[in-house]
Every structure is written in C-alpha cells, then in structure tokens.
Structure 1
Amino acid sequence: MTDALPVDVVVRLLQAASAEQEVDVDSLLGGARLSGPDALRVGTEIRRLRATSERRRRRDQELTALFSSARELAQLRDVDELLGRLVERAHDLVGTDVTYLSEFDPDSRELRVRTTLGTVEPSFLGLRVPPGVGLASQVVEGRRPFWTSKYAVMTQARHDSAIDAAVSAEGLVSLLGVPLLAGDEVIGVLFAANRVEHAFSPEEISLLSAFADHAAIVLQTARLLARAQESADETRRAYGELSRHVEAMERASEVHSDLTSLVLQGGEASDVAIALGRALRCQVSLLDPEHLHGPVGDAVDRSRRSGRCSAVADGTYVVAVLAGSALLGALLLEQGEVEFGPVELRTAERAAQITALLNLKQDAMIEAEQRVRSDLLADMLSDDPDRRGDVATRARARGIRLGELQSVVVVAVPAELRRDAIRALRRTGGPAGEHAERAVVLTSHADPAAASTFVHTTVSRAVRAPVLAVGASFADATDDLRAQVEAASSCVRMLPSLGLTDTAVTTDEYLPYVALFGPGEARVTAYVRRVIGPVLDWDAKHVGKLLPTLAAYLGNRMSPVATARALHLHKNTVLQRLERAAELLGDDWQEPDRLFRVTVAVRLAELTKNP
C-alpha cells in the first residue's frame, strides 16, 4: 500500500487539472513518492481533465461571444447593415483570413456574394455561383456544413472556371461553408476561408454552424420585418390613394351637383367653367373655336378625335366641347392646388358635355331667333315683291339695322356640313341662312375681301373641310342685294372649273369670267384649249416657257423690254419666244379681237395652273 499523498500535492494536482495555473505535473508527481505506474496513471488523468477544462472554458468564451453577437444582431433591422455585421462577428469568432456571406435566390437557385470581410479583390463582391457548382452548391443541396482543406484539388463538387478564377485571384486555399437555414429553406451560406491549407476542426465547424443558426433566424426575422414594413408602407400609400380618390369623388360629386343645377336653372356655358374651377381649385377657361390655334389647337384636335382630355403642357389640359361633329369650343384647365388625376380629368370631360348641352340649349334659342332672321333674309332675296315689301320694318323689329350691313358672303361647303356652316355663320351676328343650296350671311364689313376672309376662317374652323367663300358689296340691302348674291353665287359655281375649291375671294376678282362663261358653265377648259392649245402643247413637249412669257408680255403692256425685265431675261430671249408663239397661234394673234380672246385664255390658264 502506498503512502498517502500530502495535502499540498493534492491541491497542486487539482489546480493543474483545472487549468487555472501552469503546473509541472511530472515534477509534482516525482516528489510524491508514487510508483511509476501510479504516477503515469495520475498524470494521464490530470492531463485529460486539464484538456477537458480548457475546452469547456474556450467553449464558454465562444458561447458568450456568440450570444453577445446574437443579441447585437437581433437589435438590427436594416438587412444590408445586418449582413455586414453578421459577417464581421463571424470573422471575429472563427478567426479565419476571409469571411463572406452568399445569399441564395430560390428562383434562379444561384448564390450571390452579398458581404465580405478580409477580401482584397473588388470583383469578389457580387460573385454569382450557378446551381450545382463548387463547394457552395454542396452546402445548399446537402443543407449541412461542407469544407475542403485545398479547394484547387477538391473533387467532391463540380468546378467552374469563373468561380475558380475568382477564388484563385483572392488567394483562397481552404474553405468552410455552413448553411443559413430558416426551417427547411436555405436562405444563404456563411463561409470562412484561409489563404493557407487548413483542416477545419469539429469545434470550428460547430462554432460557425451555431453562429449561422442564430444569424439565419435573425436574418429571416429582419427580412420578415422589412416585408412587414413594406406592407405597412404600401398600406399607407393605398390609404393615401384611397383618401385622394374619395376627395376626388367628392369634388366630382360637387361638380355634378353644381352642373345639374346649372342645367335646371338655365345657366350659361361660361358658368360651367366657373363651377369646374371652383371644385378642382384650378383655373378653367372657356375658349371659342376661333381662338383654338397653336399647341392648344393641336391638343383640341386630339381631344376631338378621342373624346377625352388632352395634355397641352405639364399640368395643362384641354377638352373639346362637341355637338356631334361640330366643334363648339374647348375647356382649358391649368392645374392649381389639386393634382389632376383620372377622376379630375373625367370630371372635366363631363363638364365639357354639360357645356355642349348648354351651348345647344342656347343655340336652340338663338336658332329660333335666327330662323326668323333667316326668313327675313329669304324674303330679302325673294323674287316676290310682296315678300320684300316690309323687310325694313320687320328688320327693325328684330333689332337688325339694314343700313349697317354692307357686304354679303356666299359660302359653298359639302351638303352634309351646310347646317354646321350656317350655325357658325349665325354666331357672327349678321343674318344668315340658306339660299339656292348655299350658305349666305350679311356682314357689316365695308370691304368684301375682308368679309369673305373672315367668313372663310370661321366656317373652316367649324366644319374642318374645304370652304369656298365669295364676297360682294352692296349699297342697299333692299335694292341691289339680290343682284350681288346672284353674282357671288355664279362665281361660286364657276370657280371650281378653275381649280379653286377652298379659298376666299370677291366677285370683282372673277366677274369678267363669270360674264364670259355664265354661271354653271363647264366650258373653261375647252375655251382655253381652243384658243391657246398649241402653246400649251409646246410647253408640255419642250418644257418651255411660252405661257409664262405670254402672261408677262400681256401684263406689261406688250413691251418686250418690260417683259424681259419682269422675267429676268434678255430681250432677245423674249423676242424669240414671242416669235415661237406667233408661229403657233398665227401672225394675227395680236389683232384686237384675237388679242382679247388670247388674253382671257392666258389668264384662265394661269389661274387654273396656280389657283
């Protein structure tokens, strides 16, 4: 039986086993008078206890750091900041050269490097790993840790040239990857890597796995919170949109109520613009058809085709006021306090319809008045003396002062648009109506050219089709008006044979031709061919200039010098052309009778060529 060990030796042995102090176990046992086998057995046991104690102490330190990191990560809400801190803590815990996190995309099944620490190559961040490639895919597919001490010779997973190049550029040799799991779902892979060959111990794998488990929960929670925040933001946006929609609907209801009252109480079209501007808190203008030009006119044309509001500029819209195909005007809206949305624009379109309705109602009243005026105009143009007998008295009764009327305009438009043309003419204020399948209006313009131009512009904007307007002046509405209307009507019938179908002229400009060929005659072309046909044929074959030369010669008092100056030609060139004309027309073409007919034919040919 061995002697008992001294208490001091026992205490020193316990201290050695606890790893609290550095103790030379062999020296201590050598002075304890133990046999060789006993000393060996006690020493072995002491070293085992010491290693266990060291592992537990290190484990406590790691777990303390792990839980501390987990608490810190749990306080983060921003996903990007969380990923950065997560990699930073893992890097500190494991102590490898490089630590990085790859996020898993369940749709493409790719892994993309989101955050790194310890890397030197900028291209490593954002590196994408296709499915089934490299160590990362082994971790994802197996849902367990996977490591290699030397990546270059790893055979357990398929290599990819791009991934191998990135790993080689970073100088990574040994890698450990552990999955970030949220239930059965892999949301990423956490990597620890060294630039030297290294066999990862079970303790290192266990530590990184435990950290990854904590990190996965925190990361998933952060994602859920981010989604919840996005949902909350979306809910707030939807609520705000709903509130704006409700406000818009309330404004639309207010406008509808106001417009209904306007219709029932006999309001005017201008009141619609006021009510719409008050409800939408913006500036609204009611535009006449005559004022629709430029960008506004282009936008009105678009609105007219679509029936909807059309943008003029940023924050400015226009909507056409239509009655069938007739344009009555437009509403111009300039954005104010309220941003224009679909409800506001639809409200403006409804307001345009109400404006058209009120315009039609007003037009109906005007129509009744104008019908009387039309009857008065018909009586003024009648062949029956009895109907013309008391025209002046009836005109005064309708507020028409015949003495102020100085010109008449006869208008030709397609038959289906004649009613719209007459409606537009009645807005000019003078008596207007239909006579002999033409629209006729009396104006106070002293100049018939100004009157025809004004009427042409007004009717063209209303019907959007070719308009032929012929003006004539008269001295007395009760005396020579009928003669002037007949002259203008004859001119209207004759002008299309000259190629004029959309213009404004006066009877004085074309009266000689009307007198020559008579109203409605279609013999202009035949006459021109009969008189100067050879000249026209010569010009057609030789690309000549005989007709313009004849026109200039006749227009310059038959002076070759003046003709050459007007055409910027040499006198001899003009004389040569006149000689050619004499060969074609005959030597007597400048005799008075022939000259008159040639002059008329040349003028008609020029008009037909350049209407």
Structure 2
Amino acid sequence: MTLPVAAVVGLLEAAEQDTDVAELLAGLDHADAERIASGIRRLRATSDRLRRRGQELAALFSSARELAELRDVDELLARLVERAHDLVGTDVTYLSEFDVGSRELRVRTTLGTVAPSFPGLRVPPGMGLASQVVESRRPCWTARYDAMTQAPHDDRIDETVAAEGLVSLLGVPLLAGDEVIGVLFAANRVEHAFSPEEISLLSAFADHAAVVLQTARLLARANTAADETRRAYGELARHVEAMERASEVHGDLTTLVLQGGDATEVAGALGRALRCRVALLDTDHLDGGVREAVEQSRRSGRCVPAGEGAFVVAVVAGPTLLGALLLEQGAVEFGPVEFRTAERAAQITALLSLKQDALIEAEQRVRGDLLADLLSADADRRAGAATRARARGIRLDGPRSVVVVAVPADLRHQAARALRRTGDLVGEHADHIVVLTPAEDPAAAARAVHTAVARSLAAPVLAVGAAAEDDLREPVEQATACVRILPALGVSDAAATTDEYLPYTALFGPGEARVSAFVRRVLGPVLDWDAEHAGTLLPTLASYLDNRMSPVATARALHVHKNTVLQRLDRAAELLGEGWQDPDRLFRLTVAVRLTRLAERP
C-alpha cells in the first residue's frame, strides 16, 4: 500500500488536531484503514500523555523554583495544593500535617471545600484513610468512602466527609526520610477509580510539600535556636556588665571601709555604679508606702519595690533599724545582680553606721563623764572638768543654756543617743538627761532639744531650759525641779524654761523643806481632820478657791449638793479660825492649798 505524500501529511495533521480521519481513509482497504486508525489513536494517546507529562513537569519545576525562594510556608503550601488540584482534576484537594507527639493529623491547607468544619479537621490516631496512609507510608485510596473497610471509621470524620459530599479519596504520604510529616489528599464528590498516573502525580506534589514542611520545621527550629542564642548572649552580656558594676562598687565600698568613709559616701558609690539616684533615709523620714516597703525589706533582708520605679533596702544591725537606701531606677535595668549589690551596700552602710555610732558613743561617754564632773559638788572635780572641756574645744564661758530632759526610763538611752548627734555636751544626771548647748536663748535651746528627742521617740518629752552660769549646778537643779513639777500642772509633753514657772521652781527648788513647814502652819488643822475622817475638806476647799469662792459652782464641780459644800466650809472655818477669808490669810491659804494639791499628784 502506497499513500501519496499529501495523504500522509493530512493524516498527521488530523491526528494532531484530534479530528475525524474516516474521510482520509475512505479509499483504502478495510484492514489497512483499521491499522492506520489504530496507529493514529496510539499517536494521539502518546501525544496527550507527553503533553500532560510536560504540564506536570512544568508545574513541578515551578513549585521547585518557588521552594527555592521560600518566604511564606503557608502561601507556598497553598500554591502546591492549588497546582495539584488543577493537574489531578479532582473536586477537592487538601493537605494534613502530622503531629508526632499526639499522632493526630490536622487539615492545614484546602482547596475546593465548602463545609466550614473541614479546614482544621483533626483525625485521631488510627482512624480513617489518613491514618492508614501514615501507618503504611504508601498511597491509599477508596472509590467509595462510605463503603471503605480497610480503615476504621470515626463518627466526626464521617460527618465532615458527608457534609463536604466527598465519595472517593486518594491520600499520599509526605515523607522526610522514614518520618511521615503529613498526607496530601485528592477527593471527588463522585465515585472514581484513581489511575496510576493520578497517584504518581499526587505523590510527586507530596514530595515537594514534604520538602516545604520539613524545611519550615528546620527553619523554625533554626530561628528558635538563633533567638535563644541571641537572648542567651544578651543575658550573658548584661550579666557580665552587671558583674563588672558589682565588682566596681565592691571595690569602692571596700576602699570606703578601709579609709573610714561614712554612709553618705556609700550611697554615692552605689548610685555611680548602678547609674541611678540613691538616697540615704534615716528612721525619722520613713512614711507611707516607703515605711511599709522598708519593713518588708527589714523582715526579708532583700531589696523590695517601693512604687513608681523605686526600690528600698533596709539598713539593719541585728534587730535595730538604722535607716534605708532608696534607689530610683535610671539607665540600668535592675536585676538580681543589681539587687544583690544594693543589699551588700546596705550591709556596708550598717557596718559604717555602727562604727561611726561606736566612735560617737565613746566620745559621748567621755563628754558625759565631763558633764557629770561639771555638776559634781567637789570643787576639784569641777575645776579638772573645766580644764578637760577647754582641751576638747568646749566653751564654758560666755552665754550658754542648759536643758534638762525627762523621758520614760526605758527610752532614756535612745533619747541621749539622738541628742549626741547634735554635737552638744550630753549626759545623764539624777534620772534625767542634761544637755549643755551654746545657744544663748534657753527657750530656743529647749525647743531644739525637744524636737530632736521627739523625732526619735514615740513618747512624751519634757525639755526645760535655763540660762547657764559658771556653776552649772544651780540652773540644772532649777530645771530639774521644773521638770518634776510640770506633770502635776498637767504638762507632760512640752518645751519650757524655768522662768516660765518661776514661782513653782522657787518653791520646789533648793530649800524645799521650808515649803512643808509653811503648808503645815497654814493648813495643819484641815490636813489632820482629813487624815482622821473622809478626807473631803481639802478637796472642797481647793474647789471653792478655784471656783471664785462660789458655793454653787463648787457643788456643781464636786457633784454634791450646795448644802454639803456649806457644811464642809463651816467645818473648815472652825478648824482655820476666824478671819480665814481675809485677803492676806486667803492668799497664803490659796498658795498652801495649791502646793499641797501639786504635791499629791504623781
């Protein structure tokens, strides 16, 4: 059989264009025509397969290029699923990621789905076609999912598949070595038997998707490791810097201790090292939230927050609170090293404070002994004390004031300690504290001493000043007498002078025995009557004099009837004799009653 060239060309064009070749073969023998038609069909099938293969390879090469330019993993997976969806030609294509820990599969990327429950669907271990793909590590498929028997069903998965209307499913594993990291699915809403070409094509895309997922995991791990490394390096650098600052402040504090520095210099060194403001607070300037924070630090021994970026650490020596360091955070962020540095600085502050207090105590003991000698009745001791005072730079000539301070006995030592900080000559004498100050005004001296003691104690303070003389004994005795009489006058917390209470200090000062004799001569019969009876005459007489000699006012003050007052006054008149209300006798009687009442008070 011989065909013209034009006929052969026409057959080839018809085969390429997929047109009918019956007319071209009409003049040929039936057997020859059948062989030519069969060859043309094979040629067309081969051409279709090669064209399809070319499209598949182009899609795979395109995904490979995108993989090399990987930026967004989710976007790239979506493109891979999209191309697999277009080339395989199924209704739905989706990718599930496998969790090695829980052994669950979670739908990560979908295309063609309509049911809202499908994206994010989780497949429990061992259930459904997906688990079969994971366990076998090979492609698995079913033409009818509802009739599938090779894998166990799960009610929730079956409901989701039914809601999506899926009938036939093909799943291929995403492998990274021997590890399954996911499954790529192609599904139809009609019954369909998947061909080897479809399985091979989907497997090729699954290989690309596996590379993407594995690369994403490795990148995530690398990024996490890099972030952890950067954090660790930053923390190490900060720790090294903090240790250098701690070493610097430790050296400064050691130098301060060796050179006899004080607490203020410790605060300055700490502020320079931590690049922040540091204030040294004494116990008299702790209030509100700062006091609460200091108490917390005192109990724990740690640096604690004090609000608004500030921290405090208590300065303590045993059970005694000496003050606190207040730190206001600046350029350096505080961490464990900074807090520990502040705590060590507080310990050094306490050490220096104790050392300074010990020196002050030693000096003040000497000064206290000096004051005791100045108040001694021995003239030689006083003369020797004056010489030692001049040697210590203490002026005993010129205007000065002496202040006698009365506080509860258990607080006397603390009050004396507070006064010694003023630099005045301080000592204890006759159960009181005596202060010799260069102030010229006794009233101003008494107020200054009262303020200094009251700030340190939470108790009433009596401070009485007097002008100092060459012999300190007399003004001290006058001030002591005034301190003793003030509580009887209802004064328990005040600063005063002996001149303000001169009549009382004159009576209760030196020669006090004469006062008792005077009272006895004026009120003897009344005092004897009260001693033998109910003791009502003297109180009635005192109230009568205080209420301007009005029987009615006296009765009201004593809460008794007016007649009772009159009866008592008659009895007093009998005992005192006629003329007891004459001006001169009444004055002396008033003074005697007042002195007696004052002497009776504690």
- The bucket for the TM-score relative to the shorter chain is 0.7 to 0.9
For the residue of structure 2 that corresponds to 1:20, the secondary structure is helix
Looking at structure 1, the residues matched to 300 and 255 of structure 2 have their Cα atoms a distance apart, in angstroms, of: 28
1:258 aligns with 2:258: no
Looking at structure 1, the residues matched to 106 and 551 of structure 2 have their Cα atoms a distance apart, in angstroms, of: 92
Looking at structure 2, the residues matched to 557 and 210 of structure 1 have their Cα atoms a distance apart, in angstroms, of: 122
Looking at structure 2, the residues matched to 288 and 469 of structure 1 have their Cα atoms a distance apart, in angstroms, of: 21
Quote the residue 2:16 is aligned against.
Answer: 20
For the residue of structure 2 that corresponds to 1:190, the secondary structure is strand
Q: 1:23 to 1:167 in 2, by over 3 A?
A: closer
Letter in 2 for 1:313: G
Deviation at 1:303, TM superposition (A): 1.9
Among 461, 473, 480, the residue aligned to 1:478: 473
1:185 aligns with 2:179: yes
Looking at structure 2, the residues matched to 313 and 192 of structure 1 have their Cα atoms a distance apart, in angstroms, of: 62
- Conserved 8 A contact 1:73-1:215: no
Among 424, 443, 446, the residue aligned to 1:446: 443
Q: 1:89 to 1:61 in 2, by over 3 A?
A: closer
Looking at structure 2, the residues matched to 561 and 173 of structure 1 have their Cα atoms a distance apart, in angstroms, of: 117
Map residues 387-466 of structure 1 onto 2, 5 A cutoff.
Answer: 387=381, 394-395=388-389, 397-399=391-393, 404-412=400-408, 422-432=416-426, 446=443, 451-452=449-450, 454-459=452-457
Looking at structure 1, the residues matched to 300 and 261 of structure 2 have their Cα atoms a distance apart, in angstroms, of: 27
Letter in 2 for 1:478: R
Q: 1:62 to 1:365 in 2, by over 3 A?
A: same
TM-score, normalized by length of structure 2? Answer: 0.72
Give CA deviations for 1:132-184 in whole Å, capped at 9, x if unaligned: 23332222222222333443444443333333333344444433322211112
Letter in 1 for 2:78: G
Letter in 1 for 2:27: G
Looking at structure 2, the residues matched to 452 and 159 of structure 1 have their Cα atoms a distance apart, in angstroms, of: 93
- Conserved 8 A contact 1:276-1:284: yes
Deviation at 1:435, TM superposition (A): 6.3
Looking at structure 1, the residues matched to 549 and 188 of structure 2 have their Cα atoms a distance apart, in angstroms, of: 109
- Conserved 8 A contact 1:407-1:446: no
Quote the residue 2:28 is aligned against.
Answer: 32
- Conserved 8 A contact 2:246-2:337: yes
Quote the residue 1:363 is aligned against.
Answer: 357
Give CA deviations for 1:333-360 in whole Å, capped at 9, x if unaligned: 2222222222222222222222233333
1:224 aligns with 2:197: no
For the residue of structure 1 that corresponds to 2:28, the secondary structure is coil
Fraction of identical pairs, as percent = 67
Q: 1:391 to 1:136 in 2, by over 3 A?
A: same
Looking at structure 1, the residues matched to 206 and 144 of structure 2 have their Cα atoms a distance apart, in angstroms, of: 23
1:92 aligns with 2:86: yes
Q: 1:369 to 1:75 in 2, by over 3 A?
A: same
1:317 aligns with 2:311: yes
Q: 1:338 to 1:559 in 2, by over 3 A?
A: farther
Quote the residue 2:323 is aligned against.
Answer: 329
Letter in 2 for 1:219: L
Map residues 299-318 of structure 1 onto 2, 5 A cutoff.
Answer: 299-318=293-312
Letter in 2 for 1:299: A
Quote the residue 2:287 is aligned against.
Answer: 293
- Conserved 8 A contact 2:402-2:475: no
Q: 1:76 to 1:434 in 2, by over 3 A?
A: farther
Quote the residue 2:67 is aligned against.
Answer: 73
- Conserved 8 A contact 1:179-1:212: yes
For the residue of structure 2 that corresponds to 1:284, the secondary structure is strand
Q: Which runs of 5+ in 2 are unaligned?
A: 498-503, 505-533, 536-544, 573-592
Q: 1:381 to 1:12 in 2, by over 3 A?
A: farther
TM-score, normalized by length of structure 1? Answer: 0.71
Deviation at 1:76, TM superposition (A): 0.8
- Conserved 8 A contact 2:400-2:436: no
Looking at structure 2, the residues matched to 211 and 360 of structure 1 have their Cα atoms a distance apart, in angstroms, of: 81
- Conserved 8 A contact 1:315-1:335: yes
Deviation at 1:24, TM superposition (A): 3.7
Looking at structure 2, the residues matched to 275 and 72 of structure 1 have their Cα atoms a distance apart, in angstroms, of: 61
Looking at structure 2, the residues matched to 367 and 303 of structure 1 have their Cα atoms a distance apart, in angstroms, of: 27
Give CA deviations for 1:416-463 in whole Å, capped at 9, x if unaligned: x98666544432444445668887767778386885565243145xxx
Looking at structure 2, the residues matched to 96 and 437 of structure 1 have their Cα atoms a distance apart, in angstroms, of: 108
- Conserved 8 A contact 1:77-1:226: no
Looking at structure 1, the residues matched to 352 and 452 of structure 2 have their Cα atoms a distance apart, in angstroms, of: 26
Looking at structure 1, the residues matched to 494 and 403 of structure 2 have their Cα atoms a distance apart, in angstroms, of: 13
Q: 1:418 to 1:506 in 2, by over 3 A?
A: closer
Q: 1:591 to 1:171 in 2, by over 3 A?
A: farther
Q: 1:120 to 1:562 in 2, by over 3 A?
A: farther
Letter in 1 for 2:209: A
Looking at structure 1, the residues matched to 278 and 53 of structure 2 have their Cα atoms a distance apart, in angstroms, of: 78
Deviation at 1:188, TM superposition (A): 1.7
Deviation at 1:227, TM superposition (A): 1.5
Letter in 1 for 2:84: A
- Conserved 8 A contact 1:150-1:174: yes
Looking at structure 2, the residues matched to 401 and 349 of structure 1 have their Cα atoms a distance apart, in angstroms, of: 43
- Conserved 8 A contact 1:73-1:85: no
Q: 1:504 to 1:73 in 2, by over 3 A?
A: farther
Quote the residue 2:122 is aligned against.
Answer: 128
